[in-house]
Amino acid sequence: MIERVRVAVVGVGNTVSALVQGIALHRATGDLVGVRRPVIDGLGVGDIDFVAAFAISPERIGKDLTEAIFLPPNNFPPLTAELPPSGVTVSRGLTDAAEVDRVAGELAGAEVVLYAAPSGRQETARAYAEAALRAGAAFINITSDGVARDPQWPDRFAAAGLPLLGDDLASQFGTSVVHHALLRLLEERGLTLTSSYQVNLGGTEDFRNLVENGNTKLQSKLNALAVDGSAADRVQVAPFGYLPHLGSHKVAHINIEAQSWGGASVSLDVKLKVHDPSGGAGGSIDLIRLAAGALRQGHGGCLAEAAPLLKSPPGTPV
């Protein structure tokens, strides 16, 4: 029987909630609903144990991880009536570079560190990467902060024989995935794009952050669509809308106007409704197993196999 992966999480937001709950649900039912890859490097979805967790907010610190994930502003709903306590008590997260050693100490025994704090604090992200290095753990950065994109970090992790996966997790099934697939389909079938837009609405804390520093993210959305040349001028991303009553749902409206043979008009309207945190957890579960598999096989640094799961893998601009 394979040894379970020992995972530490940084940040106890909606994505970690979906991850923790989904694993528990899978263990209880054996269900593989919504799972992209049942087994990676011999590791099943249930072969993951949480061994440490870090958060900043005082309400979370000192709670069991399975309790902390339901505290506001988290709003991802309970997936199962019975969630056994994890036995992991949430620790005080790092707020100062001087604490790297303290955190590294608490990471002892962890094989993989999943960095899932709110985006926008690059120094903090890198401090945790440093702590992982010192603790001899693989590091996964699912935020948009630049770590794996900055060549010095992959180099250091490679030298230490530790995997480094990042940056910025692509959702399992989000607006970019659908919009991109449709624009590609259009192109394959020979249609000429006239114009296209997407609007994203959501009710999570992540969305509130997006609305506040939206411009960067809008550009990143356009990058994710990977449209170029004249098409890029024809695709527009409307401002994010934070609508609290959507809870952990994200709703996207996508429109595509095009022309087929003879210039005849083609219209495509899409409404997509997902639970945002589920999409994040659905990708994280694969990254964790890829990282653990590589670590156990002694492969350090970046992993080509992880790139399709990331928005900004190494090689993209910081």
Tell me the C-alpha distance between 57 and 44, whole Å: 32
Residue 297 neighbours by CB under 8 Å, 6+ apart? 41
CB of 315 to a second copy, least distance (A): 23
Asked if 231 touches a second copy (CB under 8 A), the answer is no
Beta strands in the chain (DSSP E): 5-10, 39-40, 43-44, 48-55, 90-92, 112-115, 138-141, 164-165, 192-202, 235-237, 241-242, 249-259, 265-275
SS3 48: strand
Would you say 36 and 42 are in contact if contact means Cβ atoms under 8 Å apart?
no
User: For a second copy, what does the binding mask look like between residues 26 and 55, x meaning CB under 8 A?
Assistant: -----xxxxxxx------------------
Asked if 261 touches a second copy (CB under 8 A), the answer is yes
The one segment of 14-22, 88-96, 146-154, 291-299 that binds a second copy by CB under 8 A: 14-22
The one segment of 51-59, 123-131, 253-261, 298-306 that binds a second copy by CB under 8 A: 253-261
The one segment of 119-127, 144-152, 219-227, 259-267 that binds a second copy by CB under 8 A: 259-267
Q: What is the amino acid identity at position 127? A: A
Asked if 307 touches a second copy (CB under 8 A), the answer is no
79, burial (CB in 10 Å: exposed 0-12, middle 13-18, buried 19+): middle
Q: Give the residue from 114, 146, 131 showing the smallest Cα distance to 315.
A: 146
Asked if 218 touches a second copy (CB under 8 A), the answer is no
Asked if 71 touches a second copy (CB under 8 A), the answer is no
Tell me the C-alpha distance between 297 and 75, whole Å: 38
Residues 185-204 that bind a second copy (CB under 8 A): 185-186, 189-192, 194-195, 197, 199, 201
Which positions touch a second copy (CB under 8 A)?
Answer: 18, 21-22, 25, 31-37, 79, 172-173, 177-178, 181-182, 185-186, 189-192, 194-195, 197, 199, 201, 211, 234, 236, 238-241, 243-246, 251, 253, 255, 258-275, 277-279, 281-282, 285
